[in-house]
Structure 1
């Protein structure tokens, strides 16, 4: 297995092991493709939990030759999101500036930027919970269910109900 493939599996080891169910399709496929031996299949299946089975498979794969990684990716047809994540990691290897704290900082900046965008969108639409003044005539025309010429006035008066009204 290529060193970069080993590194990707090592980096995503805990994430992958927590999401895979290797007994159903992955281990049989890898056995069929001559990636795993009978003894290795038995070793994997002897593990008590799905996570332990996945971890055992991830321990064995790096030593199973140059075809092991591509066969593993093909075996993930039921787990496409994991396959996509691993392939994305290979296409965009992290540089020194995106590791560790800097990577977390970048993700945090993206998240706060996303939250700020949502806050501004809510404010633009008329606010949440009445904190911001609504647009004249209710929601902007692009968000209104009825065309502007058929807009209905909003009645803001409410009546109190007694528990006996229910």
Structure 2
């Protein structure tokens, strides 16, 4: 679980490398849906880059090797559908650095840039654990995988928010508010 949380945090933290100015300014707040769309949009690139990074450290039957093409293909259509909301979320994070950039130009750079930032911190000794985490997540629908990553990163990243490229906006349940139904 700790390594899965670490992998989720690595994905989360990898996004920080794309937005250096966001760290200097007030940390933006994303809704869970915005964060999930951002994660969903970059997952195919992340899987591919992590697979390349770990290819020499894993057996041929590992998910990140032999199972990678069908996994990436299954995640690509949801990534394409998530792109418009992901672009809006990325705009919140990037602020004026990405304002006015044509989304058609930004999209081919965003996924590989985030994936590269994540992969650069992966050590060969971590590859088997990362492959296991990806293998466990691979049967999930892409939206569940992205939701799980956001949940784990939110829970684990709450200790040191200054290192996170964004935070999840508080919800009524998280703040202890009671809904109109009388339930938290």
Superposition TM-score, scaled by structure 2 size: 0.24
Bigger RCO (CA 8 Å, 6+ sep) = 2
Q: Which structure shows the bigger proportion of residues in helix conformation? A: 2
Q: Which structure would you say has the larger Rg?
A: 1
